[in-house]
Amino acid sequence: MNSMDSSKIKEINNILFWIGHASFYIKTKETTLFIDPFNVDSNIVKERADLVLITHAHFDHCSKADLFKIIKPDGKIISSQGCLTKRDYNNLEIIKPGYNGKFNDISISAIPAYNLKSERLSFHPRENEWVGYIIDAAGLRFYHAGDTDFIPEMKKLKGLDVAMLPVGGTYTMDVDEAIEAAKSIDSKFIVPMHYKNLLGVDGSKKAEEKLKKGLNNLLIMNEVQKPTYAFK
């Protein structure tokens, strides 16, 4: 990579942090934003959320126990439907694909996330209106895909700095499908997620090796916590 690439990677690593699985946080001057907090170790991740984005209702993306750990008393939650209720969370906004909003110094939009493959249709049906998020923060543009297959909407994504894509297979794209999706997305870097819990140690290493061969803009991030290779 050239110096410009190295500089961009440093810029990304100063704002985007991978907790593990599909869980990340973004920290700007004004806002700490968590995405799909899951299995968060509060002894390691000491940041607390001004804003939480939830892509969909599955336990490894919408974890009430983890929300309790990380959100500030006045923190806001933006979530797709089917996970949380306004009765239990005062500062909750339930959204659908097409949502656009702003929070402090961060702009957010939501696009669909769903399965197309016949063997996966029951996991993330399009009619559930679950989402991925596009986040503009600190001069960078991020895409967190949620749980999804390679969907047509991805081909319309332009001007991204980072695209976080699930690559574990079974419930989402496998490695080959993720490579195909990554090549269709206009993003400087592709960050894989949602695979270690599903593929185990050896499978994760093989997936990373295959991704490296298939993509010249791959960025494998280090988790801020000890990697988890199986659901607890």
pLDDT tens digits, 12-37: 999 999 999 999 999 999 999 999 99
Q: pLDDT digit string (tens) for 139-160?
A: 999 999 999 999 999 999 999 9
Q: Which residues pair with 142 in a beta bridge?
A: 135, 162
Type of residue numbered 104: N
| Percentage of the chain exceeding pLDDT 90 | 92
Averaged pLDDT score across all residues of the chain: 95
Where b means 16+ CB within 10 Å and e means fewer, 28-47 reads: beebbbbbbbbbbeeeebeb
| Percentage of the chain exceeding pLDDT 70 | 97
Q: pLDDT digit string (tens) for 77-119?
A: 999 999 999 888 989 999 999 999 999 999 999 999 999 999 9
Higher per-residue confidence, 81 vs 231: 81
CB 158 within 8 A of CB 141: no
With a cut of 60, say whether residue 163 has pLDDT above it. yes
How does strand 160-166 pair with strand 187-193?
parallel
Q: Which of 20-34, 52-66, 217-231 has the lowest mean pLDDT?
A: 217-231
With a cut of 50, say whether residue 2 has pLDDT above it. no
123-128: long-range pairs with CB below 8 Å, 24+: 123/147, 123/171, 124/56, 124/148, 124/171, 124/172, 128/56, 128/57, 128/80, 128/81, 128/82
With a cut of 80, say whether residue 1 has pLDDT above it. no
